[in-house]
Structure 1
């Protein structure tokens, strides 16, 4: 079975733009591209997409998902077993919440809050993420980052924080410009150099994944938006343009 981008988008609920982005960062590459330029996805592509969505469900970053799925030791069966356990925990929580709502509708005044507890699910999610990184995510970038950061002291982290703040402010001061402008693109390159200097070799592929994560992960969005409302989205778009322009 071969499906076009629009057909896959309709089947999965994922936007066409997201599918194009997954292709650009080599997370999900279509099986073939026709002479007319149409991307066609086969059953193997759809299986990989399903795994991507499973990992996204438990808040994995795209770059980590790619590392895991591209690892030759990746065990799909074991991964699915872990996914199932988490989904069962979520289902049980929802069933308890529905029961609590039914009781409230019947007029029962039971002040119960244990049904809202996410601790068990969060513990399993964190344990799974650590297991997955240990089993499948031991990349050179990960090792390099550990090697560098393990040597940093208080002054080093202060310098890193200061340098990153300067770059964030540079982006924020230029939010009135197009993301393609030389001024904005200068700060994208500065940001790429910053990551390479202090953490790991930030390739275009890794940078593209980070750009997507800045808007997909609310923790990053909140942190970046401290320097200006909407800055995370602005940086994401600027990085997207930069990576496409420097293929």
Structure 2
């Protein structure tokens, strides 16, 4: 904006020139923040180029979040103004750094929503074992990418490092070993030991998204009905898939859920 030719502007013209309201200029005049330097013969306010330059400085401070009550002293005392600008500069830089961090975190969530796991394919195989297929995450996204559970899973996955995933993988491996041992030992569904294992299994899913007992029953059904899931668990221990479904059902019943009418809630 060229302010050099702005001498003698009325309140309305000045407001239009700098992009503020007439009401704001009247208020700033009343509190002594920006007073028009000239008057017409009839007594109407006229803003000079210097006045408009002061208004621009006021707007700059407002953009920085400085209260109007503090702006006048900043404009009238160069020493205070310099210190304030330095403080505001440091604050803006800190805020910019936080915004960059937030943007980076958002990028990770977006990427996790697409890919499921923010690990390279070789890292996934190293962590989850040689039978792991990196394409499984993409397949899961195709099936469930529009669900609330996938969104929750992605938000949690976005903050996980390779070390976090290794801890999760180790926990699942230990759980599967305990499930297989209990099945071989003839542990009955509904027993304390079986219920404790079912709860551990539900907790292993809860790592990814909130899993209710009713949802857990639905997952147990999925294990039994899906050949890939069934093959996975039966490879750990023959008959483990059906037994796992049965202990999930029994544990759900112990927690007030009728397995035969359980739904995804």
TM range (shorter): 0.3 to 0.5
Larger Rg: 2
Please give the TM-score of this superposition, normalised by the length of structure 1: 0.43
Could you tell me the TM-score, scaled by structure 2's length? 0.40
